[in-house]
Amino acid sequence: MTGPVRGVARPVLGPVGRLLVVGDVVTDIVARHRTPIAPGTDTAAAIRAVPGGAGANVACWAAYWGCPEVRLLGRVGADSAAWHEAALTRAGVRPRLVVDPEAPTGTVICLVDGGAGAERTFLTDSGASLRLSPEDWAPELLDGVAWLHLSGYLFFAEPSRAVAGVAMAQARARGVPVSVDPASVGFLREWGVGRFLAAVEGVTVLMPSRGEAELLAGVGAGAVADSAVALSRLFSVVVVTAGAEGAVVARGGEVVGRVPSVGVCARDTTGAGDAFTGAFVASRVRGVGLVGAVGEGCRAGAVAVGRVGGRPPES
């Protein structure tokens, strides 16, 4: 089957493995504007409300990319719990959504420049998503799991950071690989690079974007390979995504692969990194090699930028 971007197809299913994603489930309000935002007055835009959240998006893309055994742990408000559960189930994900008795589901306003590049800016109210706590965790969530992925947003609040730590420790005790995407340059800078690096120590695969990698590695802008190499001295594998420039893979202090992007006309870059991550982890669970899995991630990212919102098309 082919995706909505010409020439980009989903892979043929291989051996089945289980993936557990722990992360955020939010409602995205996507506003695509073709002219600069005019302060103090109106700016015409196409606006849609769609299910989102980095963790939920990764889970959906992993299922779409050939990993049918995908579980998701997240926290939502009663206001939209049923809507999110239905959307995740349709995407092939097995959701375990904790309904928060007080906080509403998180909401993200995605301002998307409809011009070349379709760059986006987020206004984020995390709501219930970062109220996930160790009380919401159960060790049996890891039963039969071949890979654990943690959304980086979990690390920016105390309750969710605690559950991430519990999940990571139990996964490592079982020999389950763990991946983390750092999620947000703004939140990383606010919380502190050193604190984040300490919190994710021992992660198997770190998957930052170019900006996140440069911030975490303390290198200058544009130094994608340098940041990947520096971070690979702290983590087993580092995969740095660089948008139209593809991705760089580093291990043990050296670059071991460079994968080009798939050229497409971008409509909305929201969720492109989540698509990359979902396809990468799905491919690794299916036994695809490291660089090959990065290539699958680039292909999924090309599908994502051709769509509005952060989720894959429904089959």
* DSSP letters spanning 192-243: -HHHHHHHTTT-SEE--BHHHHHHHHT--TT-HHHHHHHHTTTSSEEEEE-G
pLDDT of residue 96: 97
- Neighbouring C-beta atoms of residue 167, cutoff 10 Å: 24
H-run or E-run covering 257? strand 254-259
Query: The pTM is what?
Result: 0.90
pLDDT for 213-256, tens place per residue?
Answer: 999 999 877 789 999 999 999 999 999 999 888 899 999 999 99
State which H helix or E strand residue 31 sits in: strand 26-33
Cα 256 from Cα 239, distance rounded (Å): 10
| Spans of the chain, pLDDT less than 50 | 1-7, 11-15
Measured distance CA(315)–CA(311) in Å, rounded: 12
Check if the beta carbon of residue 213 is closer than 8 Å to that of residue 222. Answer: no
Residue 67 CA to residue 60 CA, distance in Å, equals: 10
- Contacts of 168 by beta carbon, 8 Å cutoff, 6+ apart: 148, 150, 178, 200, 202, 203
Query: What average pLDDT does the chain have?
Result: 89
Length of the chain: 315
On whether the CB atoms of residues 140 and 114 are closer than 8 A, the answer is no
Q: How many CA atoms lie within 13 A of 132 on its CB side?
A: 35
Q: How far, in Å, CA of 24 to CA of 155, rounded? A: 11
Give per-residue pLDDT as tens, 96-109. Answer: 999 999 999 999 99
Active site residue 274: yes
Tokens of 159: 């309750």
pLDDT at 268: 66
Q: What angle do CA 220, 55, 282 make, to 5 degrees?
A: 90
